[in-house]
Structure formats: structure tokens, C-alpha cells
Structure 1
Amino acid sequence: MIWNPGDIVRVPYKTGEYVAEVVENHESKLLVKVLAVTKFPTQGDLHTSYEVDVPLFHQRPALSYQEKFMVPVQSVIRYNGAIPDYKESLKNALEREMEKLKKMSAWAQRCLVELENIHKETFTNAK
């Protein structure tokens, strides 16, 4: 697909995703600028998922409004919807990510309770 300056696209970047405008086409890469946030970046060390005791637990903010970055052409998807307000999209993406983590935390706690019950039933009554 040929991308032209002014095209509106959806772009994954690092661990987030954005609605962006194509600024320049450099054959295999596009220079785009951020218009909205669709997925807030993942926090922590990406190489050791779900670990908190790591040398550097990364805090990743979303890219700023109109921040420019290069992205491989093959990762770009045309965006056909209304462009959300940046601040509102940032707030929504951040709150979705927080809600997802809260649900994961509640799920992990429930799993731990069930595993502890299984452990108790299996090894307390074992002969």
C-alpha cells in the first residue's frame, strides 16, 4: 500500500498503539505524528513478564500529542474512524490498562486461593 502525507493510520509502537497522521514516506518507513492513543504502553520489564524484582521496572508513558516517530510501513493500518481527542483518548487508554491490571490482580488472587486449597487438600490428607 502507498501511504501519503495526511493519511490517518493506526500504528503500534513499542508496547502502545496510536492513531497518527503520516508526515513523510521513506519507502520502508513512515514518519508519523500522534493524534490519539488507542492502547496505553505496557509497564515493567518486557523480558521478564509479571516480575517485579527486576533491575529496572520500566514506567512507560504514552507518546505525546503530535510527537513524531518512524514506523515500518508493514505495521501500519489505515484508520477510518473519527479521530478522538488526544487527552480523552489518553485518559481512556490509561483507564482501560488500569482496569485490565486490576482484573488480572483479582484473577491471580482467586487462582492463588484455589491453588492453596488444592495444596492443602492434596498434602494435608496425604498418607
Structure 2
Amino acid sequence: MNPLEIGSMVKARYKTGAYIGRIKEERGKFYLVEVLAVLKHPQQGDLHNPKETEGVFFHERRALAHHEKANIPKSAVSAFTDDIPDYPASLRTALQQLREDLNGQPASAYRDLALSNMDSLEKDYFG
């Protein structure tokens, strides 16, 4: 496998989301990746206590913004060779996929809070 270089198009996993981006810099064990599209919207809630609502701070987790740069461990970055979708369209698709996943889960306090966050995020993202 060819090593990734500055300017390479990549798929990058960041926390619970996944993105398409371009490597801007190499920083030791990390790449600085510029976000160009969203593949998977981050899960809602507390990363350390997934799907819990009691006794935790339930975070609203936003997707990384278009052209936002993030330090991502090299182990979470791989080459991307497909077409890069438009950022707003990819964000809308990722948000809809997460909503469908949540709606497919049994009713729970987590699901209700996460769907409420999704409604708020959708209004914020798209007006």
C-alpha cells in the first residue's frame, strides 16, 4: 500500500463520525485533514457512556464543518479514490442515515434525546 502524502484524498474516522478529506500536513502520529464531505454523522450523547442518558452530560455532536481541519490519528486515515460528494448533500445524507438508524431502534430515552438533537442540528445546518 502506498503511503499517504500531503494532498492525498482520504477517508478519516474522527470520534464517531467519518469524513472525506485532503491531507494538509503530517504531524507525527497524526495527519491534519481538511474536511470535504461527511460519510457518517457523529453519534449523539456521551462518547464514554454510549446510549446512556442518566447521570451523564448528553452532548449534541455536530459534524465537522466544510473545510474544517482536524488532527486525526494516522491509524484512522485511509486512501479515498471515489468521487467526492458535495459537502451539503453529504451532510444531509449522513444526517438522514443517522435518523433512520435511530428510528429503527426500540423506543428509549436515548433515542428520544438523540432524535431531538438531530432536529436541532438539521435546523442549524440547513436553516
TM-score, normalised relative to structure 2: 0.78
CA contact (8 A) 1:3 1:25 kept: no
Give the root-mean-square deviation of aligned CA atoms.
1.5
Structure 1 residue ranges, 4+ long, deviating more than 4 angstroms after superposition: none
The residue number in structure 2 matching 1:38 is 39
Aligned partner of 2:71 in structure 1 is 70
CA, structure 1 residues 23+58, in 2 after alignment: closer, same or farther (shift >3 Å)?
A: same
- Give the alignment's TM-score, normalised by structure 1: 0.78
Note the C-alpha offset of 1:53: 2.4
CA deviations 1:47-106 (Å, max 9, x no partner) are 323222234101101000000011111221100100000000000000000000000136
In structure 2, what is the equivalent of residue 90 of structure 1?
91
Matched residues, number:
107
Conservation of the 8 A alpha-carbon contact between 1:15 and 1:42? yes
Shift of 1:2: 2.6
SS of structure 2 residue aligned to 1:87? helix
Where structure 1 has 5 or more consecutive residues not aligned to the other structure, the ranges are 109-127
Describe the SS at the equivalent of 2:22. strand
Task: Name the SS of the counterpart of 2:6 in structure 1.
Answer: coil
- For 1:11-30, list aligned pairs within 5 A: 11-30=12-31
> What are the superposed Cα offsets for residues 15-39 of structure 1, whole Å, 9 maximum, x if unpaired?
1000010001224211110000000
Determine if the alignment matches structure 1 residue 51 to structure 2 residue 52: yes
Q: Kindly, what percent of the aligned residue pairs are identical? A: 39
Indicate how the Cα distance of structure 1 residues 50 and 29 shifts in structure 2: closer, same or farther if over 3 A, else same: closer
